[in-house]
């Protein structure tokens, strides 16, 4: 029972810490040096109509920076869709095997698939 309570407590703590959405999507040219995105930013790197990379801070606040390839000629690659109000959706889901985060991004919102708490 005690361990179950502990598991629930750690899960709760984790859910509170988890990000629900990103606030800002910023666009950079390939030659730019965008630096590191802040917690609530998503960087799209590339030319007009040809996005190359997506950079974002892992939404579970583990501190890791996730970089995704958007060029279909390289594998694995992700697709993005930018809405009129500059919100981003990413396909397929993002699976950060380093920390166990697995989530979808839909209109800047993080939709969690799973999280492996045991490390």
Interface ranges with Zn ion (CB under 5 A): 58, 60, 62, 64, 99, 101
Please compute, for residue 96, the number of CA atoms within 13 A of its CA located in the half-sphere on the CB side. Answer: 23
Q: How far is the CB of 119 from Zn ion (least distance, A)?
A: 11
Closest to Zn ion by CB, 58 vs 88, is 58
Q: How far apart are CA 38 and CA 12, in angstroms?
A: 24
Nearest CA to 59 among 116, 111, 5? 111
Give first-to-last CA distance, the chain, whole Å.
21
Closest to Zn ion by CB, 88 vs 110, is 110
Neighbours of 74 (CB within 10 A): 9
Q: How far is the CB of 53 from Zn ion (least distance, A)?
A: 18
Q: How far is the CB of 4 from Zn ion (least distance, A)?
A: 25
Closest to Zn ion by CB, 71 vs 116, is 116
């Amino acid at each position: 029972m005690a361990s179950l309570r502990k598991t629930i407590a750690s899960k709760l703590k984790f859910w509170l810490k988890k990000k629900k959405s990103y606030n800002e999507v910023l666009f950079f040219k390939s030659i730019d040096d965008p630096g590191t995105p802040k917690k609530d930013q998503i960087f799209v790197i590339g030319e007009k109509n040809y996005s190359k990379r997506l950079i974002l801070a892992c939404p579970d606040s583990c501190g890791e920076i996730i970089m995704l390839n958007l060029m279909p000629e390289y594998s694995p690659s992700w697709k993005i869709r930018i809405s009129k109000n500059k919100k981003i959706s990413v396909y397929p889901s993002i699976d950060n095997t380093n920390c166990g985060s697995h989530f979808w991004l839909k209109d800047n919102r993080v939709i969690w698939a799973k999280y492996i708490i045991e490390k």
